[in-house]
Amino acid sequence: MSFTLKDRVALVTGSGRGIGAAIAKRLAAAGATVHLADLAPERTEAVVDAIRRDGGAAHHLTLDVNSEESWTGAIGVVRQRSTHLDTLVNNVGITIAKSIEETTLAEWRLMMAVNLESPFVGIKAALPLMKDSAIRTPFGGSIINICSVSGIVGTPNLACYTATKAGLRYFSKSAALEFARSGYRIRVNTVHPGLIEGASANVLFESSVKSGACKDMAEAEILWTSRFPIGRIGRQQDIGGAVLFLASDESSYMTGAEIIIDGGLSAQ
């Protein structure tokens, strides 16, 4: 299989660290020009420097994913720098691990805003440029929304988080059908990570310690890892590889689909 993204332009949200940075690096290594969007420019600048040192093409964008104005400005910068946009990766997300009783309405609204509302705002903002790009290029467009295995199966103390990811899962399927039937040549697919190394996993470990279920972070990691049949935490590059596939022509007949990378959790 050839996963080349030569001559393509991608925008990845939340790409200053973690999974987003891994995705940006993977797309750049395959030949794409990648615009790294994050609320903290100092994070994206470091990743951009790393990509450029490895011979890739990358730019940083300061983006508030919940602001229509910020999205409009970011897409305008992409248009000016690169003239087209072929791949949009909505990766940014937030995890608050609490019981329903402990979760405040403000926390519920924050997760809904970041995890579910921001992909809607981003797709709306990017669509005119992506539609134009899909018409002018041979490969069409690809939108990839990073969901979670928690959007497929329920998880105690993550009920509000799972609601946002399940919502994004079905929003993505509906968008895929809408764009396909409208003849936009833009595919929409989702990736559903399980327990992946990094900040989100640490939130879950910390919640287990705070609740008294585990005495320390090490014990919490063992507890959470034991739920996954493969017996280990996922790597950030595992997600980057799936996104690369969905951005490439190797997945050109896939839309409204989902790739589950969860170490076997949802197969039980």
Dump pLDDT digits (tens) for 49-106: 999 999 999 999 999 999 999 999 999 999 999 999 999 999 999 999 899 999 999 9
CB-based contact 98:207 (threshold 8 Å): yes
| Residues near 17 by beta carbon (within 8 Å), at least 6 away in sequence | 38, 43, 47, 198, 199
- From 161, 170, 184, 253, the catalytic residue: 161
170 labelled catalytic? no
CB-based contact 261:242 (threshold 8 Å): yes
Q: What is the pTM of this model?
A: 0.94
Dump pLDDT digits (tens) for 184-235: 999 999 999 998 887 777 777 887 888 788 888 888 888 888 888 998 888 9
| Whole-angstrom distance, CA of residue 245 vs CA of residue 224 | 28
Which domains does the chain carry? Answer: 9-194+235-261 (3.40.50.720), 195-233 (no CATH)
Determine the pLDDT at residue 78: 98
